[in-house]
Amino acid sequence: MSYVIDRRLNGKNKSTVNRQRFLRRYRDHIKKAVEEAVSRRSITDMEHGEQISIPGRDIDEPVLHHGRGGKQTVVHPGNKEFTAGEHIARPQGGGGGGKGPGKAGNSGEGMDEFVFQITQEEFLEFMFEDLELPNLVKRNLTGTDTYKTVRAGISNEGNPSRINIIRTLRSAHARRIALSGSSRAKLKEAKAELDRLRREEPDNFGDIQEVEAEIQRLSTRIHRVPFLDTFDLKYNLLVKHPSPSSKAVMFCLMDVSGSMTQATKDIAKRFFILLYLFLKRNYDKIEVVFIRHHTSAREVDEEEFFYSRETGGTIVSSALKLMQEIMAERYPTNEWNIYAAQASDGDNWNDDSPICREILTKQIMPFVQYYTYVEITPREHQALWFEYERIGESFADTFAQQQLVSAGDIYPVFRELFQRRLAT
Partner 1 sequence: MTAKEQKRQPLSTGSEWTFELIQAYDREISRIAERYALDTYPNQIEVITAEQMMDAYASVGMPLGYHHWSYGKHFLSTEKSYTRGQMGLAYEIVINSDPCIAYLMEENTICMQALVVAHACYGHNSFFKGNYLFRTWTDASSIIDYLVFAKQYIMQCEERHGIDAVEDLLDSCHALMNYGVDRYKRPYPISAEEERRRQKDREEHLQKQINDLWRTIPKSADKNSERDNARFPAEPQENILYFIEKHAPLLEPWQREVVRIVRKIAQYFYPQRQTQVMNEGWATFWHYTLMNDLYDEGLVTDGFMMEFLQSHTSVVYQPGFDSPYYNGINPYALGFAMYRDIRRMCEHPTDEDRHWFPDIAGSDWLSTIKFAMSSFKDESFILQYLSPQVIRDLKLFSILDDDQRDDLLVPAIHDEPGYRTIRETLAAQYNLGNREPNVQIWSIDRRGDRSLTLRHQQHDRKPLGESTDEVLKHLHRLWGFDIHLDTLQGDQLVKTHHVPPKTEHSEGDYGRLDLAVVHL
Summarize as ranges the residues that interact with partner 1 (CB under 8 A).
1-8, 10, 12-15, 17-25, 59-80, 82-90, 96-103, 105-106, 114-117
Strands (E), 205-295: 235-242, 247-255, 285-293
Yes or no: say if 229 and 140 are a contact pair by the CB < 8 Å rule: no
Yes or no: say if 265 and 376 are a contact pair by the CB < 8 Å rule: no
Residues counted in the chain: 424
Distance of closest approach, residue 101 Cβ to partner 1, in angstroms: 7
- Which of residues 115 and 239 has its CB atom nearest to partner 1 in the complex? 115
- Which of residues 67 and 153 has its CB atom nearest to partner 1 in the complex? 67
- Which of residues 65 and 309 has its CB atom nearest to partner 1 in the complex? 65
CA distance 355 to 317: 6
C-alpha of 128 from chain center? 14
Distance of closest approach, residue 317 Cβ to partner 1, in angstroms: 54
Yes or no: say if 271 and 359 are a contact pair by the CB < 8 Å rule: no
- Which of residues 20 and 261 has its CB atom nearest to partner 1 in the complex? 20
CA distance 43 to 190: 87
- Which of residues 17 and 422 has its CB atom nearest to partner 1 in the complex? 17
- Which of residues 97 and 392 has its CB atom nearest to partner 1 in the complex? 97
CB-based burial label for 305 (10 Å; 0-12, 13-18, 19+): buried
C-alpha of 125 from chain center? 12
Distance of closest approach, residue 42 Cβ to partner 1, in angstroms: 24
Distance of closest approach, residue 113 Cβ to partner 1, in angstroms: 11
H-run or E-run covering 115 = strand 113-118
Distance of closest approach, residue 11 Cβ to partner 1, in angstroms: 8
Return the closest-CA partner of residue 148 out of 235, 245, 234, 236.
Answer: 245
Distance of closest approach, residue 175 Cβ to partner 1, in angstroms: 47
Distance of closest approach, residue 181 Cβ to partner 1, in angstroms: 55
- Which of residues 7 and 199 has its CB atom nearest to partner 1 in the complex? 7
Distance of closest approach, residue 23 Cβ to partner 1, in angstroms: 7
- Which of residues 69 and 312 has its CB atom nearest to partner 1 in the complex? 69
- DSSP characters for 248-274? EEEEEEEE-STT--HHHHHHHHHHHHH
- Going from the C-alpha of 220 to that of each of 207, 213, 311, 321, the distances in angstroms are 20, 11, 92, 81
CA distance 413 to 411: 5
